[in-house]
Amino acid sequence: MSAPVFGTHRDEGRPDFGPDEVEALADDLLALLGPRGVSSLPRAIARASRDGSGMSPILSAQDLGRPDLVCYPRTPQVIPHIVRAAVRRGVPLTTRGKGTGNYGQVVPRFGGLVMDMTSLTAIEAIDDRAITALAGARMVTLEQFAWDNGKQLWMYPSTVQSTLGGFLAGGSAGTGTIVHGRNHEGFVEALDVVYATDDAELVHLEGDDAQPLVHTYGVAGVIVGARVRVEPLQDWRSIYVSFADHHNAFTAALDLSTFDPAPRLLSADRAEVVDALPSDPALVRGRASIRALLDARCVDEVCDRLTAAGGRVEAVRDGIMQTVKMSALSYNHPTWWLQKAHPDRYFHMEVRGDALVTALDAVEQVYEGGMLHLEMGHEMMFGMLNGIYHSPEQVVAGVPELEALGVGVHSPHQWYVDLDADRVKAIAARTDPMGLLNPGRWM
Ligand SMILES: Cc1cc2nc3c(=O)[nH]c(=O)nc-3n(C[C@H](O)[C@H](O)[C@H](O)COP(=O)(O)OP(=O)(O)OC[C@H]3O[C@@H](n4cnc5c(N)ncnc54)[C@H](O)[C@@H]3O)c2cc1C
């Protein structure tokens, strides 16, 4: 079955539960966690009903769901008890990190319990290979901890404040992906998980056993902690180069895709998108931009190449603050800033392939007002194609046109498990036999 461009509401997979089960679970959680550990107050419910899906006008127009209860575990040991209680009462359980996922995949489709992991922030260990932390640790905190120990994370997303568990369960790529691929491609060394069974307990998974739970939206297990890869810290420089013509900028970005040593991050935008980014003298209004994290040893050579391609070097900066700042201008963030500058105007599609650059004008013309944000990915370019929004039908109609140009498309307007769904379904049948973990994620 080909992937749908947007999600449609169906009751399929809805667990059979009601107010009595919710009330009984609330009592169980009160006994387990105390009065501060569980809430059904409107503010808590509203907060747990939101995520980054506001970026999609298609998802924003729908009622994606809302929990009946939210709980706030403060120790990893209590998680199996919470999961057992939800299983005993037959109430669905959706695990929540920072709530920045942009497909609505953390909003509980059928209600039930949301478990907020953001208090579980401990970083437990680091060695030459990996860092071990609880699921609520922030990605930026892990990167800082790694730098303090002469290491760097293999990768982290542009939503740098998001959680380790959320990035592993709901994210896919980020700073470092050019070299290391996506988060399900070897980043994870081990996971501590809890399955939704009536005898739930902490289960430790190593290597190949852990990988299949990555990018599964928590439907096959709750991630309580993880060990993820680090590598020796490199001496990074953040470079900002502006261009009068975005064609030159995008072509120069593609030319750098074979550069050795590879950048840790490379993003390119046309002037209209740059104009929407936060004010910075290195982001020159009215000019296209390339931003890259480069090994200090190759800054001069890359700057020479970009200058020869028509660019003007605006800034070369160093230090972790600058690295993180540049990361937070990558991936979905330029779209986010564009939408902030022009509310209710734009939507975006996730697109990939060198055709983004080699057929740039044709790609941008697929949607009215089309503007590409480009990232250098792992062995291919990818990006976000922004366009003026009219209707879901208009969004769908552009997909075959993009594909005919040789562009791969992934829709950010649907909430289904989108990585190897059949395999995930088979795992979940064993680890969540009652279908209680974040239900409603199968297309
Ligand atoms: C502007 C913007 C930019 C973004 N940039 C990127 C990017 O560069 N790269 C990228 O990959 N993503 C990106 N995202 C998507 C998202 O921000 C990231 O994937 C982020 O890492 C998710 O973490 P979170 O803590 O916010 O997770 P949440 O949004 O809370 O959860 C995401 C999913 O994981 C599940 N989950 C959360 N914690 C656990 C757990 N402990 N165990 C099991 N399941 C769990 C949730 O149920 C949900 O399905 C972006 C989103 C926005 C809005």
Q: Which residues pair with 371 in a beta bridge?
A: 386
| pLDDT for the residue 1 | 46
Distance 428 CA to ligand 1 centre (A): 20
pLDDT at 105 over 80: yes
CB of 32 closer than 8 Å to CB of 81 = yes
Distance 166 CA to ligand 1 centre (A): 4
Distance 171 CA to ligand 1 centre (A): 5
Q: Is 67 in the pocket of ligand 1 (CB under 6 A)?
A: no
Distance 413 CA to ligand 1 centre (A): 15
3-state secondary structure the chain: CCCCCECCCCCCCCCCCCHHHHHHHHHHHHHHHCHHHEECCHHHHHHCCCCHHHHCHHHHCCCCCCCCEEECCCCHHHHHHHHHHHHHHCCCEEEECCCCCCCCCCCCCCCCEEEECCCCCCEEEECCCEEEEECCCEHHHHHHHHHHCCEEECCECCCCCCEHHHHHHHCCCCECHHHHCCCCCCCEEEEEEECCCCCCCEEEEEHHHCHHHCCCCCCCCEEEEEEEEEEECCCEEEEEEEECCHHHHHHHHHHHHHCCCCCCEEEEECHHHHCCCCCCCCCCCCCEEEEEEEEHHHHHHHHHHHHHCCEEEEEEEECHHHHHHHHCCCCCHHHHHHHHHCCCCEEEEEEECCHHHHCHHHHHHCCCCCEEEEEECCCCEEEEEEEECCCHHHHHHHHHHHHHCCCEEECCECCCCCCCHHHHHHHHHHHCCCCCECCCCCC
| pLDDT for the residue 2 | 62
| pLDDT for the residue 437 | 98
pLDDT at 420 over 50: yes
In the structure, what pLDDT confidence band is assigned to residue 371 with cuts at 50, 70 and 90? very high
pLDDT per residue over 300-343, tens digit each? 999 999 999 999 999 999 999 999 999 999 999 999 999 999 99
Q: Is 76 in the pocket of ligand 1 (CB under 6 A)?
A: no
pLDDT per residue over 346-360, tens digit each? 999 999 999 999 999
| pLDDT for the residue 6 | 83
pLDDT per residue over 142-185, tens digit each? 999 999 999 999 999 999 999 999 999 999 999 999 999 999 99
Atom of ligand 1 nearest to the CA of 55: 53
Instruction: Report d(CA 259, CA 100) in Å as an integer.
Output: 32
Range 32-60 average pLDDT: 97
β-pair type (288-295, 236-243): antiparallel
Distance 329 CA to ligand 1 centre (A): 16
pLDDT per residue over 56-99, tens digit each? 999 999 999 999 999 999 999 999 999 999 999 999 999 999 99
Higher pLDDT, 82 or 7: 82
Best probe residue, ligand 1, of 102, 159, 160, 415 (max atoms within 8 Å of C-beta)? 159
Range 226-232 average pLDDT: 98
Task: Give CA torsion, residues 334, 158, 315, 321, to 10 deg.
Answer: 140
In the structure, what pLDDT confidence band is assigned to residue 121 with cuts at 50, 70 and 90? very high
In the structure, what pLDDT confidence band is assigned to residue 363 with cuts at 50, 70 and 90? very high
Range 239-260 average pLDDT: 97
Q: Whose CA is nearest to atom 20 of ligand 1?
A: 167
| pLDDT for the residue 70 | 98
Best probe residue, ligand 1, of 50, 71, 106 (max atoms within 8 Å of C-beta)? 106
pLDDT per residue over 273-292, tens digit each? 999 999 999 999 999 999 99
Range 96-114 average pLDDT: 96
pLDDT at 37 over 70: yes
Range 4-13 average pLDDT: 81
| pLDDT for the residue 112 | 98
Mean of the per-residue pLDDT values of the chain:
96
